[in-house]
């Protein structure tokens, strides 16, 4: 039974650590591109389904070349960041469209308009990212797990100190610890 709890503890700590790491990665890359030029955006619509479902986080990175079939992010004339696929390219102009859209986008792009090429995405993490940006979400998704992790580590330290103290007392009394 002890081995089960030890495995469960390691699993739970790994999940909490991974979740905290991904949350910090998403928050940092959504605000800046200081991590190797990587920037993240939340996919708000279903225009790229099934490749990028609504609520996904897509991570982009600037690239020297953009080809037909690449998923890219760009800022449209309304100032919104859009993530769509390149469907055509000619004479230095790029045409994009969402995978789920019947028609291509009306705006033509030049390579300078492109923020970057999609490298990978995390489905559903965008919903968590949006939630964590709210005060309740920040407390619920970042602060509470962090406090839980810290409390767990303090509990483990206290248990180890108790074991060491017990061993010292038993050795002073001349009793061998079992």
User: Are residues 88 and 54 located together in one domain of the fold?
Assistant: yes
pLDDT of the residue at 87 = 95
User: Are residues 119 and 101 located together in one domain of the fold?
Assistant: yes
User: Are residues 144 and 128 located together in one domain of the fold?
Assistant: no
Number of residues that this document lists for the chain: 178
**Digit-coded pLDDT (tens) for 107-157:** 999 998 999 999 989 888 888 777 777 888 877 777 887 888 899 899 999
**Digit-coded pLDDT (tens) for 44-87:** 899 999 999 999 999 999 998 899 999 999 998 888 899 999 99
Give residue 1's pLDDT band: very low, low, confident or very high (50, 70, 90): confident
Cα 1 from chain centroid? 34
DSSP state of 113: G
What would the DSSP string read from start to end of 157-174? Answer: HHHHHHHHHHHHHHHHHT
Q: In which element (H, E) is residue 20 found?
A: helix 2-31
Q: What is the rounded CA–CA span in Å between residue 141 and residue 146?
A: 9
Cα 42 from chain centroid? 10
Domain of 167, in residue numbers: 135-178
User: Are residues 84 and 149 located together in one domain of the fold?
Assistant: no
User: Are residues 100 and 154 located together in one domain of the fold?
Assistant: no
What would the DSSP string read from start to end of 43-103? Answer: --SSTTTTTS-TT-EEEEE--S---TT-EEEEE-TTS-EEEEEEEEEETTEEEEE-TT-SS
User: Are residues 128 and 141 located together in one domain of the fold?
Assistant: no
Q: How much of the chain, in percent, has pLDDT values that exceed 70? A: 99
User: Are residues 18 and 51 located together in one domain of the fold?
Assistant: yes
Tell me, what CATH number does 65's domain have? Answer: 2.10.109.10
pLDDT of the residue at 178 = 63
Burial call 40-78: b when 16+ CB within 10 Å, e when fewer: bbbbeeebbeebbebbbbbbbbebeebeeebbbbbeeee
Give 20 or 164, the one with higher predicted confidence: 164
User: Are residues 47 and 107 located together in one domain of the fold?
Assistant: yes
User: Are residues 129 and 139 located together in one domain of the fold?
Assistant: no
Of the candidates 36, 52, 34, the residue with the CA atom closest to the CA atom of residue 44:
52
User: Are residues 44 and 71 located together in one domain of the fold?
Assistant: yes
Query: Collapsing DSSP states into helix, strand and coil, what is residue 144?
Result: helix
In total, how many domains does the chain have? 2
User: Are residues 24 and 102 located together in one domain of the fold?
Assistant: yes
User: Are residues 160 and 114 located together in one domain of the fold?
Assistant: no
């Amino acid at each position: 039974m002890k081995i089960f709890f030890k495995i469960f503890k390691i699993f739970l700590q790994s999940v909490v650590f991974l979740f905290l790491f991904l949350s910090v990665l998403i928050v940092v890359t959504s605000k800046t591109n200081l991590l190797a030029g990587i920037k993240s955006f939340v996919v708000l619509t279903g225009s790229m389904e099934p490749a990028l479902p609504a609520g996904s986080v897509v991570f982009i990175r600037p690239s020297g070349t953009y080809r037909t079939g690449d998923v890219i992010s760009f800022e449209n004339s309304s100032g919104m960041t859009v993530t769509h696929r390149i469907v055509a390219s000619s004479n230095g102009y790029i045409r994009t469209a969402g995978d789920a859209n019947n028609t291509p986008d009306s705006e033509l792009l030049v390579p300078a308009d492109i923020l970057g090429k999609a490298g990978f995405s995390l489905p559903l993490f965008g919903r968590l990212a949006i939630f964590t940006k709210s005060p309740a979400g920040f407390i619920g998704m970042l602060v509470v797990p962090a406090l839980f992790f810290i409390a767990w580590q303090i509990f483990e330290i206290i248990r180890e100190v108790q074991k060491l103290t017990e061993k010292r007392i038993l050795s002073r009394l001349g009793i061998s610890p079992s």
